[in-house]
Structure formats: structure tokens, C-alpha cells
Structure 1
Amino acid sequence: MTEYLVFRLYAPLASWGEAAVGESRPTASYPGRSAIIGLLGAALGVRRDDDEGQRRLRDSLGIAIKQRSPGSLLRDYHTVQVPASQSKVTYRTRRDELNAPTKVIHTILSSRDYRCDGLWTVALWLTPQAEVALEDLEQALKTPYFPLYLGRKACPPGAPLAPSRRTFARLRDALDVDFPSLSGKEPGEERRVLRLPENVLYAWEGAAELLDGNGRGVESSEAWDDPLNRRRWQFGPRTEYRRVTRAGEER
């Protein structure tokens, strides 16, 4: 039996950042490890420049996600002022860019992607070298030190996270827990109101069999979302496992 901290993420807008190239800022369909660690750090009051606090969080937790709905994709366009490239001139920060001479400033079009009305369940468990307690994380999510948001500051939660600690024999049982209705409707009616898809996605780390002891139907890939240094925005690789299951067959 393992103790898990389980909570829910829902918002009208969420943005789970992926590798950004050029002017495009895409979003994944569900939160990665760095997004969850960042959310927990904000709840606890661990600042981005607190390397030791960030390390304790990173090394203490295993993370799994159940995607009940990825939401619909929204692309928002922006105009951004940036300085033109110049030989022997390096702009190390956004402040440096904005302080560049006006004559070298030009405007580019950029895009930012969001997930609308996405719904996810998160399950956390402690690693053998854990330096944090699930009880402290639960209380922090109920009364966060900093405001919480789902990827960007324009994306606050649209419903209570409802964190709770529960003990289960299987990770899948933790991810399948029921939460209070978001719409005030019965489960079948809520599925229609929230436009939940026919399939749910499980994503986790550790081992292919960790979800429910059955490694069949599991795919894996390398995800570069393990936060190594928040100040320098450095991330390392990890192996992520995934399985898609028809909604209603979770149990």
C-alpha cells in the first residue's frame, strides 16, 4: 500500500509549456513534471532562485497524471518588440532588449497556445530520499503561499484543487478517485456539459507496470521536463509512460 496526495486541475485556460522555437510558444495537452513541481513550489513559497528548495521538491516526489480532457486548443497572437540582430551585441535579458536603441527595434508576430476547459487529476507519492511530507504539500495546496496558476499567470485555477491524502494498492486507483462535481450535475450529465472525450490518458514515471501491475498497452518516450535549475531554465530528460483507456473503464 502506498500513500498518495491526489488533487484536481481545471481552468478555463491552461498552458503547459513545451520547447519553444522562434516566435511560437506551444502547449502540451497535460502538465509535465516541471509544471507540477512549479505549482507545488508556489504553494509552499519556494522561490525560483531557491536552488536547494527546488532540489528537495524535485528529488522527493513521483508524479502521475490522468487526463480526463485535454481541452480545446486556443492560439493567441501577440506583437512583440525585439531588437534586430547585431554583430558583437548580445542581449542577455528582456530588460536589455527593451533598452536597446529605438532605431534597432522592430516588431514580430508571436503566438501562444492554451488549453481551454482541460481537466486533469494529479497523484504524488514520496521517493525513498524524500525531504518533504505529503501532509505539508496538502496543506500548502489548500492555503498556498503564492497564487497558483496553470502554466501562466493568466491561467488561475477555475475550481478548487480539492487535495487529499489517500492510501491505495495501485497508482491507477489513486488517479481514478472521484472529486466533487464541477458543474453540479450527475456524472453522466457532467460528461456532456464539460464535453469530456471518450478516452482518458494516464501518464506516469517510474516503470511501465507501476500504473496497475500490467505493462500491456503502455508506450514510453523521453520527456525533457525534469527541472534542473529554475533560474537558468535548464531541464533534464526522464522516461514517461502512457496508456489510453476508454472513459468509464478506468476501474
Structure 2
Amino acid sequence: MAYTLLLRLAGPMQSWGSDSHFEIRKTDQYPTKSGVIGMLAAALGRSRDADISDLKKLDFGVRVDQPGETITDFHTARKDSKTSYITRRSYLSDAVFVVGISSDDRSLIEKIEYALNHPAYPLFLGRRSCPPVQPLTLGVKDDGLKVALLKEPWHGSSDIYKNSVGQEQLKLVLEGRGAGVIRRVNDSPSSFDFHDRQYESRLISEIMVPKVNTENTDHDVMSFLEDLE
């Protein structure tokens, strides 16, 4: 049996970069697996060179409850007393995501939940300048990842997204080859060591699913599971 911990990742700004180089720091449109695993490792008090193989094995999924808006900040930095250069850093503003991490080891999932609520190190949403707002954890569900993400009510916060046309569905991102848009991303971490950072690629599938509002949870989850295989 699988158990799933759901997280609500929200804050003034977030930045989840899987393709950033030197002066250009991009952000993906939803949280990366490497970014979330980094946050879990920080909460658990693990050092940069610690083993993260147990966290890497967690089943991982994201639901985009509020996509937010991409903004870019320009910084002037000095290389030396005579040379300066411009850096570009992109962020997501006013975004809200529901992230699921799942395992058949309930004790591990509960340990992670406790650590996120009592973190050993400060937590941030991709970058140190992006702290999360509360609540961060939404509880451990006695469901697998897909079902837990489908059943969870919408956690957006903006009336713009709540009432706008075309927002009856949400983007759901799951690992593996499934229905919808299939992409390959390079965000599965093997090591966060400053001297030996290692990432592997993984396949992800994007599909649109109905939004469940808190005032109306009459939602047939099982009818959508076949579309996610």
C-alpha cells in the first residue's frame, strides 16, 4: 500500500530551475524534483554530501493549482574593480502548487512530514530568497500519488484564478510515460555535493484534470485514472 504526503508550495516568489547557466537563472513553470528533494533534505538536516537515494526513490507529482506569472530580476555584479556584468534571474510570482511524495514506507513519509514541520535548516522554494508560506504540509493520505493529487481540493488563493474562464481544469504532472504531453527533464538528483553535483533525466507526463473546489467535492477520482496510465 502506498502513502502520500501532500505539500502546498506557495509564497510571494518561487524559482525552480532545471536549465540555468552562469548569469542566466531560469525558472521552470512548476517545482522540480531536485528542488523539492533539496527541501526535504534540508528539513531532515542532511548535509550537502549526504546520501539522498531514499528521497530520490520517492514517487513524485505536481498539480498546478495557480500558475502565477513569470518575472525577471536583473542584477549588476562585479567581477573585479574594473569589470561588472548583468545577471538575469527569473521567478514565479503568485503561484501555488500541490506536490505529492509517495512511498509504501509510511514511517519514512511520516518522518519527512515531521521534519518539514520542524526543519533542521531553513526551507525555501527553489532559492534562498523564496521562503514558503504556511501551511506547507497537507497531511499524509492513505492513497497512492495519483489518487491523492486528484482528490485534494483546490488550494489556489487568487480570485482571478478562482473565477476566470478556463480554470475549471488543473495541470497534473506525473513521472513516467502516460497520457498527455510527455517531456524529458534533467532534474533527478543523485548528489548535491558542491564538488560533485549529479543529476539524471526522467520522463514526465502532463495531463489536465478537473479542479475540486472545497465547497463541492463530489468528484469521481477513479474515472480519470485510466487517462493517467
Query: TM-score by structure 1 length?
Result: 0.74
Cα pair distance change 1:180/1:193, threshold 3 Å? closer
Q: Tell me how far apart the structure 2 counterparts of residues 153 and 123 of structure 1 sit (CA, whole Å).
A: 22
Identity of aligned residues (%): 28
Cα pair distance change 1:194/1:158, threshold 3 Å? farther
Say yes or no: does 1:202 pair with 2:172: yes
Say yes or no: does 1:109 pair with 2:73: no
Cα pair distance change 1:243/1:29, threshold 3 Å? same
Q: Tell me how far apart the structure 2 counterparts of residues 49 and 250 of structure 1 sit (CA, whole Å).
A: 44
* Number of the residue aligned with 2:206: 242
Cα pair distance change 1:164/1:246, threshold 3 Å? closer
Give the 5 Å matches for 1:1-251. 2-50=2-50, 52=51, 54-59=52-57, 61-82=58-79, 102=81, 106-126=83-103, 133-168=108-143, 171-178=145-152, 191-192=159-160, 198=167, 199-208=169-178, 215=179, 218-231=180-193, 232-245=196-209, 247=211, 251=221
Cα pair distance change 1:171/1:119, threshold 3 Å? same
The structural deviation recorded for 1:233 is 2.6
Q: Tell me how far apart the structure 2 counterparts of residues 250 and 10 of structure 1 sit (CA, whole Å).
A: 27
Cα pair distance change 1:2/1:34, threshold 3 Å? same
Q: Tell me how far apart the structure 2 counterparts of residues 153 and 195 of structure 1 sit (CA, whole Å).
A: 32
The structural deviation recorded for 1:133 is 0.8
Q: Tell me how far apart the structure 2 counterparts of residues 159 and 151 of structure 1 sit (CA, whole Å).
A: 16
RMSD of aligned residue pairs (Cα, Å): 2.7
Q: Give the secondary-structure state (helix, strand or coil) at the position aligned to 1:66.
A: strand
Cα pair distance change 1:44/1:163, threshold 3 Å? farther
Q: Give the secondary-structure state (helix, strand or coil) at the position aligned to 2:12.
A: strand
The number of residue pairs the alignment matches comes to 211
State whether residues 14 and 118 of structure 1, in contact with CA within 8 Å, keep that contact through their aligned partners in structure 2: yes
Deviations 1:146-184 (A, max 9, x none): 11110111100122113311112x53331134469776x
1:109 counterpart letter in structure 2: I
Q: Give the secondary-structure state (helix, strand or coil) at the position aligned to 2:133.
A: coil
Deviations 1:69-99 (A, max 9, x none): 121111100011226xxxxxxxxxxxxxxxx
State whether residues 66 and 156 of structure 2, in contact with CA within 8 Å, keep that contact through their aligned partners in structure 1: no
Q: Give the secondary-structure state (helix, strand or coil) at the position aligned to 1:141.
A: helix
**Unpaired runs of at least 5, structure 2:** 213-218, 222-229
Query: TM-score by structure 2 length?
Result: 0.81
Task: Kindly name which structure, 1 or 2, has the bigger radius of gyration based on alpha carbons.
Answer: 1
State whether residues 225 and 235 of structure 1, in contact with CA within 8 Å, keep that contact through their aligned partners in structure 2: yes
